[in-house]
């Protein structure tokens, strides 16, 4: 029991639940934050290309190819 309490780094409430975070938990969350931050940055950068492509597709009756300089983070054929 003593070893378990010595590994706790943070104890806090989230809503009505009391949680304890260890150092490994904090390292994992820090790595995940960087991944999510990068994905959100890519999404924000690709959003104008996506909106342009979708608008062109709605007004067209034939297959529309994406612009040559369009974001590579979008799977256009799947749209």
Q: Which sequence spans correspond to the domains of the chain?
A: 2-78
Return the closest-CA partner of residue 42 out of 10, 73, 78. 73
Residue 38 pLDDT greater than 70, yes or no: yes
- Higher per-residue pLDDT: 54 or 40: 40
Taking the C-alpha atoms of residue 40 and residue 22, their distance in angstroms, rounded to an integer, is: 27
Query: Span 9-36, mean pLDDT?
Result: 87
Neighbours of 66 (CB within 10 A): 18
Closest to 79 measured CA to CA, from 69, 65, 67: 65
| Whole-number Å distance between alpha carbons of 69 and 79 | 18
Q: Report the predicted TM-score, pTM, of the whole model to 2 decimal places.
A: 0.54
What average pLDDT does the chain have?
A: 80
């Amino acid at each position: 029991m003593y070893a378990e309490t010595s590994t706790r780094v943070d104890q806090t409430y989230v809503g009505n639940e009391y949680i304890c975070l260890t150092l490994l938990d904090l390292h994992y969350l820090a790595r995940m934050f960087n991944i999510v931050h990068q994905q959100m940055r890519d999404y924000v950068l690709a959003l104008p290309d996506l909106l342009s492509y979708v608008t062109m597709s709605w007004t067209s009756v034939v297959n529309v190819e994406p612009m040559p300089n369009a974001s590579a983070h979008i799977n256009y054929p799947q749209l």
